[in-house]
Structures are given as structure tokens and as C-alpha cells.
Amino acid sequence: MNNFVALRSLPAWEYHRPKRLREALEILGGFKQKCRIVAGGTDLLPVLRQGKMTLFEPVHVVDISSIPGLKGIARKGEWIQIGAATSLTEVTQSPVVRESLPMLAESAGQVGSLQIRNQGTLGGNLCNASPAADTAISLLALDARVCLRSLDRERIVCLDEFFVSPGKTVLKPGEILTKIQVPVSRSTQSSRFVKLGRRNAFTLSIISVATVMRAEDGTFQYVRISLGAVAPTPVRAKKAEEFLIGKRVDESVIDEGARIAAGEVSPISDVRASAEYRKDMTHVLTKRALLACLKKTG
């Protein structure tokens, strides 16, 4: 037997750690599809295990974690601005986020384990484009937008237009997600994030729901409902939102709105749950989240 049959030489991955945003963009502009951006790097090994990348492909790993301008949380007028390389732990513990966007703090605190949250970033959680990404669900309901930068320009994209399919976003070769912008919630609005998993912690969602609402004079004035793990991407239940706005605040109305939301999803069956179960739970959890919002305002 040839003792060298199983031996293969590994091509060298080139590792880049730029200190400035322009330097990173120049690297991306030069190598384009051959680049892999990392900040926390928590998903690099899972991507290899899933076969989405292989060790036998030449790759330029661009580590953006040392670029100061990509980190930090600040209020800018009526917006909360969060650098894409800000860790999930920072998001969870930020006084600015906890006061103005408590639902985002709550959802970021449910991503993986403490070790993952310490290393993983908010931008990375979005760019992975998982249908079950916890922060994506809450940010969708909060009407967030993302800033995408290339050498030539910066463009701002509403988050509900950012996700294309599982693992794919509108990011183009040569672009970096630099920051997330979230409008400051009104004091009269309430929000709720509900996640159903097979365990109480360290688990992907079977389904997740985020709701934001404002009621005045007994009627719904503003409603946002976003859903995770029930479609190829995180989605808004826009038909349910339209149904509820202007309706009287009543449990039967909420129940009908939740039923409409369940009719908007297209879940799959997998090892975690069946499609039918996910549809049923969309109704149950949407209703539960909206009722919880009402209790907060009441």
C-alpha cells in the first residue's frame, strides 16, 4: 500500500489583520470572492465542518477586529449606532442598549454560550444570515438598517431587505458591514422577544418572535412582528401588522392577527421540529408576545 495516498499538501491561507477600514477595503477590493471576513471568528470552524468552505481552497482571511471604528455603541440623535465588530456581550451589557432597546439586549443575551457572546459580534450574527439568528429577529422588529461600505461608496440598507436566502445577504464582493443603526424606541412603545428551543440555553430557535407595538385610545397605532426559523430568512409578518393597525385592542383581535402571521410563514421540517409544529407555534408565540407587550403598556 502506498503510505502517501492519504497525504495532501494544504494551500496556505493568507491572514490579514488591517488596522484601518480603508486598508481592509483595499484587501477586499483586490481579492473579492477569495476573501473571508472575520471579526470574532466563532463561525469559521462550523462553516468548514458544514463543507461551505474547505481547507483546499485558497482563501484570504481578513480579520477586522482591530479596526477601532467598527466597534462601540453610541446614541446619535434619534438613532442608536452600533459598530459591526461590537461583541454580543457588549450589546447585552450596554446601558444605552438596555435603556433604549431592551429587546435587543435580551435577544443578544440568548445567542449561544457566554464564551460565544464574548467573542462573537453583532455584525457577524447578521452577516451569517441564519433564519434563526436571534439578534436579526429583534432588529427587524425595531426597524433597523445597516451601513455597507466599499472603496467607492457607502450604502444604507433596511434590514428587511438585507437577507436573501440562508447564508446569503445583499453584501457584494468588496463590501463590509460597518455599523447597525436602530431608531430609538418611543417611551410609549413596548417590545417582547420570545424564543422556543429544545433546551433553555445554548440552542438554536425552533421558532422566535419579536413584537413591537404602541396602542393609544384603545386601538393599535403601531405594530411590528418579526419571525425567525420559519422561512428561508428572518421575516416580517406584514399582513398581520397591517391587519392589527387601527383595530381595537382586544384579545380576539390579537388572536386573529397571530393566525394571519402563522399563514405568512413557510417553515421546513428538520431535526428540531416539523413544519406543522412551527406553524402552530407561530400563532401561539405571536399571540403571547403581543399580549406581553400590552401588559407592559398597561
Domain coverage including residue 278: 206-297
My answer on whether 152 and 231 are in the same domain is no
My answer on whether 112 and 169 are in the same domain is yes
CATH no. for residue 256? 3.30.390.50
pLDDT band at 6 (very low <50, low <70, confident <90, very high): very low
Mean pLDDT, range 252-265, rounded to an integer = 97
Q: Using alpha carbons only, what angle is made at residue 183 by residues 177 and 185, rounded to the nearest 5 degrees? A: 140
Question: Could you give the number of structural domains in the chain?
Answer: 3
Q: What is the pLDDT of residue 258?
A: 98
Residue 4 pLDDT more than 80? no
CA gap 128, 252 in Å, rounded: 37
My answer on whether 86 and 144 are in the same domain is yes
Task: Output the DSSP codes for 237-283.
Answer: -HHHHHHHTTSB--HHHHHHHHHHHHHT------SS--HHHHHHHHH
Q: What is the pLDDT of residue 3?
A: 46
Q: How far is CA 21 from the centre of its chain?
A: 23
- 6 occurs within a structural domain: no
- pLDDT over 70 for what percent of the chain? 88
CA gap 169, 127 in Å, rounded: 7
Q: What is the pLDDT of residue 54?
A: 57
My answer on whether 173 and 112 are in the same domain is yes
Which residues make beta-bridge pairs with 165? 168
CATH no. for residue 21? 3.30.43.10
Residue 175 pLDDT more than 50? yes
pTM recorded for the entire structure: 0.89
Q: What is the pLDDT of residue 266?
A: 93
Q: What is the pLDDT of residue 42?
A: 72
Domain endpoint, select from 183, 198, 217: 183
CA gap 191, 223 in Å, rounded: 10
Q: What is the pLDDT of residue 296?
A: 75
Residue 115 pLDDT more than 70? yes
- 167 occurs within a structural domain: yes
**Cβ distance 254 to 287 under 8 Å?**
yes
My answer on whether 25 and 54 are in the same domain is yes
pLDDT in tens, 188-221: 899 999 998 765 555 678 899 999 999 999 999 9
Residue 123 pLDDT more than 50? yes
The average confidence (pLDDT) of the chain is: 89
My answer on whether 112 and 157 are in the same domain is yes
pLDDT band at 2 (very low <50, low <70, confident <90, very high): very low
pLDDT band at 267 (very low <50, low <70, confident <90, very high): very high
Q: What is the pLDDT of residue 288?
A: 96
- 234 occurs within a structural domain: yes
Go through the chain and tell me how many residues it has: 298
- 142 occurs within a structural domain: yes
Residue 1 pLDDT more than 50? no
Mean pLDDT, range 146-162, rounded to an integer = 97
- 1 occurs within a structural domain: no
pLDDT in tens, 28-83: 988 877 888 888 777 766 666 565 555 556 688 899 999 989 999 999 999 999 99
Mean pLDDT, range 162-171, rounded to an integer = 95
My answer on whether 37 and 129 are in the same domain is no
My answer on whether 48 and 95 are in the same domain is no
